[in-house]
Amino acid sequence: DGASIPVRVYYPDESKHGPGPYPVHLNFHGGGFVLGNLSTESTLCLSMCEGAGVVVVDVDYRLCPETIWGICFQDAWAALKWVQAEAGTLNVKADSISLGGVSAGGHISVLLQHMARDAGIPLKLIMATVPPSTDALFYKYYTDSPFPSFHEFYRGPVLAFQRIKWFGELSAPVEKREELKKMWPKWWFSPLKAPNLSDLCPALIRTAECDPLRDEGEAYALKLVAGGNKVTIKRYIGVPHTFMYMDFMNQKQQYDLDSIEALKEAHGIK
């Protein structure tokens, strides 16, 4: 639609990782489609960049309620196409692209996994962390979810059900939901209902034990497995939804190491 989407590009230390061109990883921050900016996950981006020796492109996709729900996916897709088209200028490898994100960013990554397959764009990996895979933003009651973790942690830390409802009211207000459902494919709201789960790129799906979204994230991962895809599933024990932002937690340190190792393996970096 002609909008300009800001990005921040992180380059690895040339003295450690050579002059390039480098593999490239696109990052989409979390925030319930409502919150977040290029500072939200800057430390995660730096860690992946320096640890794995990849260029990281952090994408400042448009948020709700300033724009309607769904525009973020178009912004993310435009960023992926831009990176591919401008690979020479960016000093990155157009044939060595991965992407990932936390929470809403994980949802974006999942959708782009399908869109890239359909467009014939090969991806090395998606890393979707604590991703929503149902239309929980539309739930009236926490009991609307079929998943035990949603019931167990509806009053849990960081992402209680009232916070999920708040995100839903801002990103997909009740009075606009029918209109939104007509604008976008139905499975965009609930990736578990994607019509084709085969021939997708490798995926690392990570969940948090004390998170209402735990079970639905793992359910999506298992559907990928059933579709014949290469999938790694990891649950971090004893941590809430946003643990990867909490420097004082040992599991956050392990999370960073896992990201680095996954990127190195996917891009063939020794």
Give the integer Cα–Cα distance in Å for 68 and 55. 30
171 is catalytic: no
Per the annotation, the verdict on 103 as an active-site residue is yes
H-helix or E-strand spanning residue 24? strand 22-28
Q: Tokens at residue 223, please?
A: 């559907």
* 3-class SS of residue 213: coil
Catalytic residue among 103, 149, 190, 259: 103
8 Å CB contact between 218 and 247: no
List 211, 215, 259, 267, catalytic entry: 211
Catalytic residue at 149? no
Give CA–CA dist 89/19, Å, rounded.
13
Q: Which of 11, 42, 5 is nearest to 27 (CA)?
A: 42
User: What letter represents residue 100's amino acid?
Assistant: G
User: Could you tell me the CA-to-CA distances from 163 to 113, 145, 169 in Å, in that order?
Assistant: 27, 15, 10
Which of 96, 241, 259, 267 is catalytic? The answer is 241
Hey, which residues are catalytic here? 103, 211, 241
